[in-house]
Amino acid sequence: MFRIADSAVVDAQTFNFNDSGGITINAKNFEAVNGGQVISTSRSSGKAGNITINATNSIVLTGTDATFTDRLAQFGPVIVDNVSASSGLFANTLPESTGDGSSILVNSGQRIVITAGAGIAVNSEGLGNTGNVELKSPNITLDGNAYLSATTSSGDRGNIILQSGNIQLRRGSNITTNASNNANGGNIAIDTGTLVALEDSDIRANAIRGQGGNIQLTALGIFRAGESDIDASSQLGINGIVQISRLDDPSRGLVPFEVNLASETAAEFTGCTAGGASAEGSLYVTGNGGLPPNPGEALNSNPILDDLGSSAPPAIVEARTLIKTADGRLLLVAEIPNTCR
């Protein structure tokens, strides 16, 4: 376990023309809580080093430092190294700098969870290029005003790239690239099985005078509440492009059955009807795929983007059992009905 907490920092900076070294942390689990930060900064012409976090299990960023504002007022930015009150990972270039900013690379074997105002951000206020944010994990969750951000005032890059089986944005969490002045907005590329954006959680690639960034979403399904926006625009320049594509491989993320699929295999089970009476049935395992509407289409021809409107967000849970209804239908349900227990 690697844990950084209570406004502590791991910091790499360059103050002159020399490049800064990078920060690499390898751990089973990584946590940054209550204002704990990992920071890479360019203050002059030297290039900032990359931040790389590798965790075999989980990466958790959560909470803020309640003392940040008071400490900054008392001691000033020379003493207080923290970028902000948020817990997280931050790569910055200062306004007087000309060196390039660093990228933030995060890899987790199980999950990345960012909550309660924590975030990951690359920010270039100088003349150099902005770094990128790249996350790779089976599950990525942003909840409670969490954020992934790439901001640039000039230069290039500032992209956000995500690869995951499941991505959830909840309660005002955002994935954004922003470009001020004449800079072009960074791009956002998301490759996932399912993407859920609820409760005013946005994905934006915006600019002011330059071109808005492009947003490329590749997924099996995207579930978005009405107040959650996906937007690539420029206030005074050319809008970016939002492109949503269906995942080409419908079997991604499926767990193979521990049986010989070459032969018909029947798994006997006992279910419950809607009325509570027990019923016998059989589940035939014939493979891990299905027949598309025609050979040129993906498995499911329904629209990839499901607008959930402004209604209360549904609970998203895993199906755990199979039941048979009175009319003979087989249903996957989250919990076994009480009448079966």
Rounded to two decimals, the pTM is: 0.75
Residue 307, in any domain of the structure? no
Same structural domain, 136 and 168: yes
DSSP 8-state class, residue 75:
H
pLDDT at 217: 94
Same structural domain, 144 and 10: yes
Residue 260, in any domain of the structure? no
Q: Residue 306: which pLDDT band, with cuts at 50, 70 and 90? A: low
255: tokens are 């767990």
β-sheet bridge partners, residue 270: 280
- Residue 227 structural domain: 2-246
Measured in residues, the chain has a length of: 341
pLDDT at 258: 44
Range with the poorest average pLDDT among 24-28, 247-251, 281-285: 281-285
pLDDT at 266: 40
> Does position 263 have pLDDT exceeding 80, yes or no?
no
> Does position 280 have pLDDT exceeding 60, yes or no?
no
277-303 burial code (b ≥16 CB/10 A, e <16) = eeeeeeeeeeeeeeeeeeeeeeeeeee
Same structural domain, 223 and 278: no
Same structural domain, 182 and 294: no
> Does position 162 have pLDDT exceeding 60, yes or no?
yes
pLDDT at 101: 82
Q: What is the distance, to the nearest Å, from the Cα of residue 117 to the centroid of all Cα atoms in its chain?
A: 14
Q: Residue 256: which pLDDT band, with cuts at 50, 70 and 90? A: very low
Instruction: Please check whether residue 125 is in contact with residue 95, taking contact to mean a CB–CB distance below 8 angstroms.
Output: yes
More confident residue, 210 or 162: 162
Same structural domain, 16 and 104: yes
Rounded average pLDDT over 262-286:
45
pLDDT tens per residue, range 122-156: 988 878 888 899 999 999 999 999 999 998 887 66
Which position has the token pair 């900013």? Answer: 101
Residue 306, in any domain of the structure? no
How many other CB atoms are there within 10 angstroms of residue 243's CB atom?
12
Residue 173 vs residues 39, 189, 228, 261: alpha-carbon distances, Å: 22, 17, 10, 43
pLDDT tens per residue, range 215-226: 999 998 899 888
pLDDT at 308: 63
Residue 143, in any domain of the structure? yes
Q: Residue 67: which pLDDT band, with cuts at 50, 70 and 90? A: very high
**For the chain, what is the domain count?**
2
How many other CB atoms are there within 10 angstroms of residue 253's CB atom?
15
